[in-house]
Structure 1
Amino acid sequence: MNLNPADLPSSGKPATRANSPANAPGAAASGAGTNGASGAGIVSASPLATPTLNAGVASVTHLREKLAEYLSPADLQKVKEAYRFSDEMHLGQVRKSGEPYISHPIAVAEICADWKLDAQAIMAALLHDVMEDQDVKKDELIERFGAPVASLVDGLSKLEKIEFQSQIEAQAENFRKMLLAMASDVRVILIKLADRLHNMRTLEVMAPAKKARIASETMEVYVPIAHRLGLNNIYRELQDLSFSHLYPMRYRTLAKAVKAARGNRREVVKKILESVKSTLAMANIEAEVYGREKTLYGIYRKMRGKHLSFSQVLDVYGFRVVVDSFPNCYVALGTLHSLYKPMPGKFKDYIAIRKLNGYQSLHTTLIGPYGTPVEFQIRTQDMHRTAESGVAAHWLYKNGESNLSDLQQRTHAWLQSLLDIQQQTGDSAEFLEHVKVDLFPDSVYVFTPKSKIIALPRGATPVDFAYSIHTGIGDHTVSVNINGEAASLRTELRNGDIVEIVTDANSRPSPTWLSFVRTGKARSAIRHHLRTINLPESIVLGQQLLAQALTTLGLNPVMEEQLIERLLNESSAKSLDELFADIGIGKRMAALVARHIFGLIGGESASAPIDHNSAAELDPVTICGSEGVSVQLAQCCLPIPGDQIIGQLRRDQGLQVHTTDCTLAKRQKAKEPDRWIAVKWGTELNRRFDSRIKLLINNEKGILARVAAEIGESDANITYVGMDEDKEHVLHQLRFTIQVKDRVHLAGLLRNVRRVVGVNRILRERS
């Protein structure tokens, strides 16, 4: 590949798109991340300015050398054409560091070349910013470089031409687009991670606030994705770079402490290395042994999670043993255990049960010299390649690794689950919420009754397990047996549990499941079902809310057909029922839709500022208790008839009713005042309502029976009983969830129970 200074366009040559916005003086920064979240930023210069090209030339030399190792001459020529086009498009642009902007695409391509990605991916890496920076159309890229390259670049490009209601919504939509493109071609995320890595390496020139925002986004989304794909090297570097920009003082302090510790512990590390190498050699095991230092963020996380000082984190250093064969992993383990004593409970076999991202190793912690705990990781060369490069090892080592086919299948299954979540998800923010849940690295491994291993996020429940098997099983789950015994659907699963799901064709998902399910697939499937099954209720509620909002503005709730047609066109709703349903589930705000209708009929402009208190001024919505799951009573305060109440329209979950003095409601109302509406109790209530009470009682025989009997005599039903014991075993706290008619009924019950001998205090518990 003859990429040399002569290939670079003359610095005096105007760029083809010299008048495009990206080349105009003062053009906005662009680069990694969403919404202009650039690593080192762009400072656009005049098209005729002469940028310094040395950095770009140097990078081209390195890139040429890497690509020549594995690409054919024909592929090298295609890459060269992509480079020339990218350089021409970015001519006149410089980063905030002063380097020509072309140095960034070249650096991204270099990282991809380290993974030995194919020519199409390298071309896309060089072209990844031309669509959003230079307004190059996808059709032009298809014509010049082919549809596969154009699709990769399109998947990497942000959606800056679309107007969103907020930066959060724009960010969510950009991630949704990127992740769905990744589901069809994993090279999209590999290039994106390379792009983010280079921007993080050059983030220092950005303003502090922007550095913190980009670092936070990287830690929250890109670091977990790198871990999920098994890209261990990228995962560790992105983590440490994010840590250094989020907490610079902590990073510097910890780096200084680790540097000092290196000198103090050098003798210990040397002694362990020598002992391990000689012991393995005596056992005729061929192995590479080397020490490794934990990342600064890994040390910081351990200090913070376990409340330790740096001096208490003893295993700053670990050792990796890479052996020549699978059986020798276990032989080496036994040899090391004979050399140093193992710490109980500190052995993990990730070879027999590999991690979700394909990682395989034996982990053991031993008591080394001077009583220092030392962690060892034992693996084969193939396992080591997979551990460091993850899914990218598919390109690095295409021949020979049979275990990589399983890794590819696991990755493909996860990527397909993204498509399933997308089909069941209401909007981009919800999609991103579900995907983030699945990106947490900690996992538990459980078994089906037929001994198939299922990996789930830590904290997962039997409902998550059921949905991981099949959506139909999850939807019809009624109960579960864990290790042969009946258990609650809320039970957190543990490693090694054998889980058996009991289903019923007539059973349906419960809204309460959303409070404890852990996986994105389960959460999106439950919400999708609830949206579908409760559509008639949501339509009625939405119609009622919009009618009240229109009445408040002095408009007739009955709209003419022509007005409805205009409203549907401008709101992108397919039908009036869909618009009502969106209002009923909280996806659209009735006050804003009513204001828009007011503008359509020639009143005040629909784009005029909205008074966030207008929703609260509407006629109250009547709550009768039989509205179904589209109207829910908040579990934090459990309102009952007679309480002063207020309603919150939650996105895709309908109306949730709180008491007006609920602490949680007050906090949420301060954040989103436009989502709160006035509600009132109806006059004909046709059900009983849950309420929580708490009692302080003497620890004496028969007290529980006397209290329960009095509650029954007061015409209330008990649905839950709990007890807290004090340290002196003198007093107990009893907690009941009971069902009452209203506030008057509850007051009478409290008076009756207060008279029971042994009851010192009784009160209604709000949270």
Structure 2
Amino acid sequence: MRQEGSDPPAPVLPVNPAGLGAVMPTTLPDGEPLSAAALAALEVAERDEAFLVFIDSLSYLKPDEIALIREAYRFSIVAHLGQVRRSGEPYVTHPLAVAGALAEWQMDAQVIIAALLHDVMEDTAFTKAEIVARFGRGVAELVDGVSKLDKMEFQSYEEAQAENFRKMLMAMARDLRVVLIKLADRLHNLQTMAAIRAEKRRRIARETLEIYAPIANRLGLNKLFRELQDISFELIHPRRAAVLRKALRAARGNRRELLKRILEDIGECMRKAQIEAQVFGREKSVYSIYRKMVEKHLSFSQVLDIYGFRVVVDSVPNCYLALGILHALYKPVPGKFKDYIAIPKGNGYQSLHTTLIGPYGTPIEVQIRTESMHRVAQEGVASHWLYKDGDQAGVDLQRQTHKWFQSLLDLQNSSGDSAEFFENVKVDLFPDEVYVFTPKGKIMSLPRGATAVDFAYMVHTDVGNRCVAARINYELMPLRTELANGDQVEIVTAAHANPNPAWLSYVKTGRARSKIRHFLKTMQHEESAALGETMLDQELRALGVDPADVPVASWDGLVRDAGNKSMKEIHTDIGLGRRLAAVVARRLLAQEGGTHHEDDVPRAALVIRGAQGMAVQIAPCCQPIPGDPVVGSIRKGQGLLIHSHDCPAIRKSRSSEPKKWIDVEWEPEQGRLFDVRIRVGVKNQPGVLGRIATAIAEGASNIEGVSMDEKAPGLYTALHFTVGVADRAHLARLMRGLRRIPEVVRIVRERG
């Protein structure tokens, strides 16, 4: 990927890649010879020390594959001829460094070639077809997956970032190797940013912390994850990083004897127990120490566990034996033990974690794992290529990674646009997990803070859409209940239940968020189509035409001219306020060629039901209820908003824009309660709130909310209730009942 902030690529002459072979062609397609500069660059590049080291690192590949990689290197030199990085180095040093990083993971020849060419499609005149012709479709697909969408126009940087991210993740879901190239590319760009201005450095570093480091973590690439975090932290906060590094060096000197003693004690205990183990200390990364200081409001001197220890043994049973030996050596800290071997993390990570009180009361963190677990912990999915020994850990990791990719595809299908997809995936990239059980004992991993609704959607979309409550550890609990480690969760569903928009305020997983939004959008469109059809029929009748008499040919002509796909789309547009019903009615009749007069038939009020759904919404300012005279206004993209006829909030708009407003009538219906606010003035006496609440319940109403005036209560005070009523008659009965309470001195309905 071109380094952010670098100069625009210099123009290069088109070279026919099909002509590349073991020896570079000496002429261009039009017969002109390659420039002396190109030939000289090729000659120098073949002797470049970095290239020779890179070639030596490919000894795990076959000779014919190495020869093809040499050709790709030459191709990259010619393609990027004349291009330089901001540092002044020839541009080809960047793809060579990216390819070298992938060679360390012993990736296959296709990936190494794609790394050498990963900026060719984006920064030069070469096309995907030309790469296919020379290096095959597999390489071209990898290069295309990494390339940005620079040729497309976006309204903002955020939109471009979201669409590029979406494209990369979709390519990654098809082929994991795409993201490995992308991560190696990002790492080298971060390492070579000295020449870029500070503002851009910080922006790229924040993007790395927000997106690319979590992806590396999600794929189990722990070593790369730490590197991306530390470099990004230094780019964003260079002074803080320098101070922390200095403090770490000082601490390292002060604690050298302590660390040596702990290492010797652990090693001696393992030898006595005849457990073959490698024991080594590790220093926590600068960024992880900084995060701990910020999150727990600690100074550096208060972060005692800046050193950790690893014990690597030869088998899983010995992991647990080693744990027992360590707990006998040093006292364990209660509640600080985690078993990631029995329940691996979502990225395949496995280890036993325990915190012990070491010499002089120093807390130390110890990780215990097998050799294969250590490989996965360090290299994640890349260990599949590094160690081709078919061990179970690698197989499980591949399976878990594939499962995550499938969840990405689900998000892609249910997210409305790139920005929404981007937001949903970012939520899933920070999976500080909790582990819960289904009623059948299956373990499910969810992000910390996930609720019963997240669990329901993890089980199945239909379970999520129909859930009404949850049994957590056999107790009936609300859906918004946050889940904790070890909870057993059973979801209660109902056939006629639907997702509630309020769920979006507390769900944590991208899957749940995208499924809820998808359902709500679908429902809104269905309801808007029905509302739009009603509004159009009303306009047609006002013009003296029975809607059933409009010829099919007129509809076909209108749909074609409007650029819609169907009648339903036009109805939806009307219901969402994107089109005016009066204009559509006239255009529909114009297709017929007839003349119609608006005054022939008196315009009737639009009849609505209070429970019409998301297409019809009650204005929160005046909260009209059945029985109130009401008017409606179509808001673009949101449907019909109902206000009471005398609502102060709309007085100005009704006089200045009368055509935006339509007369509306309530359709009688049973069972629906509408929120309404009332203010009750009472004598300030003990028990008055309880008596009022009882009277409201006896009046067949619900209390949705209650508050009290903020000023200190005196002899009298005002209570503010939001209650549910069926209509004006129900409200009148409720208010009469409240007036009978001796302590109530005044009661009014609140508006505005």
Separation in structure 2 between the aligned mates of residue 696 and residue 288 of structure 1, nearest angstrom: 76
Cα deviation, residue 646, structure 1: 9.6
Instruction: Give CA-to-partner distance per residue, 1:111-159, whole Å, 9 cap, x none.
Output: 1111111111111111111111114222211111111111111111111
1:374 matched residue in structure 2:
364
Instruction: Give CA-to-partner distance per residue, 1:389-412, whole Å, 9 cap, x none.
Output: 111111111114112111111110
Q: Determine if the alignment matches structure 1 residue 312 to structure 2 residue 277.
A: no
Separation in structure 2 between the aligned mates of residue 451 and residue 508 of structure 1, nearest angstrom: 27
Separation in structure 1 between the aligned mates of residue 104 and residue 747 of structure 2, nearest angstrom: 68
Q: Determine if the alignment matches structure 1 residue 396 to structure 2 residue 381.
A: no
Task: State whether residues 647 and 657 of structure 1, in contact with CA within 8 Å, keep that contact through their aligned partners in structure 2.
Answer: no
Task: State whether residues 450 and 482 of structure 2, in contact with CA within 8 Å, keep that contact through their aligned partners in structure 1.
Answer: yes
Name the SS of the counterpart of 1:441 in structure 2.
Answer: coil
Distance 1:544 1:406, change over 3 A: same
| Corresponding residue to 1:355 among 339, 345, 351 | 345
Cα deviation, residue 253, structure 1: 2.9
Instruction: Give CA-to-partner distance per residue, 1:249-295, whole Å, 9 cap, x none.
Output: 33233233323322222232222122212222222222111111112
| Corresponding residue to 2:109 among 100, 116, 119 | 119
1:530-541 to structure 2, matched below 5 A, reads: 530-539=520-529
Name the SS of the counterpart of 2:58 in structure 1.
Answer: helix
Q: Determine if the alignment matches structure 1 residue 62 to structure 2 residue 69.
A: no
Task: State whether residues 623 and 680 of structure 1, in contact with CA within 8 Å, keep that contact through their aligned partners in structure 2.
Answer: no
Distance 1:694 1:173, change over 3 A: farther
| Corresponding residue to 1:565 among 560, 564, 567 | 560
Separation in structure 1 between the aligned mates of residue 345 and residue 425 of structure 2, nearest angstrom: 18
Cα deviation, residue 480, structure 1: 2.3
Distance 1:582 1:498, change over 3 A: farther
Separation in structure 2 between the aligned mates of residue 256 and residue 547 of structure 1, nearest angstrom: 76
Distance 1:523 1:762, change over 3 A: farther
Name the SS of the counterpart of 2:149 in structure 1.
Answer: coil
Q: Which structure has the bigger radius of gyration?
A: 2
2:675 matched residue in structure 1:
690
1:673 matched residue in structure 2:
none
State which drifts further: 482-491 or 739-748.
Answer: 739-748
Which runs of 5 or more residues in structure 1 are unaligned? 1-30, 33-37, 549-557, 599-620, 660-664, 666-676, 724-731
Separation in structure 1 between the aligned mates of residue 114 and residue 237 of structure 2, nearest angstrom: 34
Paired amino acid for 2:529: I
2:460 matched residue in structure 1:
470
Distance 1:221 1:491, change over 3 A: same
Q: Determine if the alignment matches structure 1 residue 187 to structure 2 residue 152.
A: no
State which drifts further: 274-283 or 229-238.
Answer: 274-283
Q: Determine if the alignment matches structure 1 residue 455 to structure 2 residue 455.
A: no
1:496-511 to structure 2, matched below 5 A, reads: 496-511=486-501
Q: Determine if the alignment matches structure 1 residue 707 to structure 2 residue 698.
A: no
1:290-329 to structure 2, matched below 5 A, reads: 290-329=280-319
Separation in structure 2 between the aligned mates of residue 46 and residue 153 of structure 1, nearest angstrom: 20
Cα deviation, residue 348, structure 1: 0.5
Distance 1:473 1:561, change over 3 A: closer
Distance 1:132 1:283, change over 3 A: same
Distance 1:740 1:386, change over 3 A: same
Separation in structure 1 between the aligned mates of residue 748 and residue 300 of structure 2, nearest angstrom: 47
Cα deviation, residue 528, structure 1: 2.4
1:337 matched residue in structure 2:
327
1:236 matched residue in structure 2:
226
Distance 1:373 1:472, change over 3 A: same
**% identity of equivalent residues:** 56
1:628 matched residue in structure 2:
613
Instruction: Give CA-to-partner distance per residue, 1:410-443, whole Å, 9 cap, x none.
Output: 1101101111222222221122222112111201
1:103-182 to structure 2, matched below 5 A, reads: 103-182=93-172
Task: State whether residues 470 and 477 of structure 2, in contact with CA within 8 Å, keep that contact through their aligned partners in structure 1.
Answer: yes
| Corresponding residue to 1:520 among 510, 526, 544 | 510
State which drifts further: 279-288 or 344-353.
Answer: 279-288
Separation in structure 2 between the aligned mates of residue 187 and residue 632 of structure 1, nearest angstrom: 49
Separation in structure 2 between the aligned mates of residue 564 and residue 56 of structure 1, nearest angstrom: 67
1:738 matched residue in structure 2:
723
Separation in structure 1 between the aligned mates of residue 307 and residue 528 of structure 2, nearest angstrom: 58
2:17 matched residue in structure 1:
none
Paired amino acid for 2:54: L
Separation in structure 2 between the aligned mates of residue 59 and residue 579 of structure 1, nearest angstrom: 63
TM-score by length of 1: 0.76
Q: How many residues align?
A: 667
Task: State whether residues 619 and 642 of structure 2, in contact with CA within 8 Å, keep that contact through their aligned partners in structure 1.
Answer: yes
Separation in structure 2 between the aligned mates of residue 584 and residue 324 of structure 1, nearest angstrom: 67
1:488 matched residue in structure 2:
478
Name the SS of the counterpart of 1:204 in structure 2.
Answer: coil
Paired amino acid for 2:99: A
Name the SS of the counterpart of 1:67 in structure 2.
Answer: coil
Cα deviation, residue 76, structure 1: 0.8
2:377 matched residue in structure 1:
387
1:22 matched residue in structure 2:
none
| Corresponding residue to 1:249 among 239, 243, 258 | 239
1:222 matched residue in structure 2:
212
Task: State whether residues 361 and 377 of structure 1, in contact with CA within 8 Å, keep that contact through their aligned partners in structure 2.
Answer: yes
Task: State whether residues 529 and 568 of structure 2, in contact with CA within 8 Å, keep that contact through their aligned partners in structure 1.
Answer: yes
Separation in structure 2 between the aligned mates of residue 623 and residue 309 of structure 1, nearest angstrom: 62
Paired amino acid for 1:100: P
2:28 matched residue in structure 1:
none
Instruction: Give CA-to-partner distance per residue, 1:559-609, whole Å, 9 cap, x none.
Output: 9976753552xxxx54464466478679xx669xx9xxx9xxxxxxxxxxx
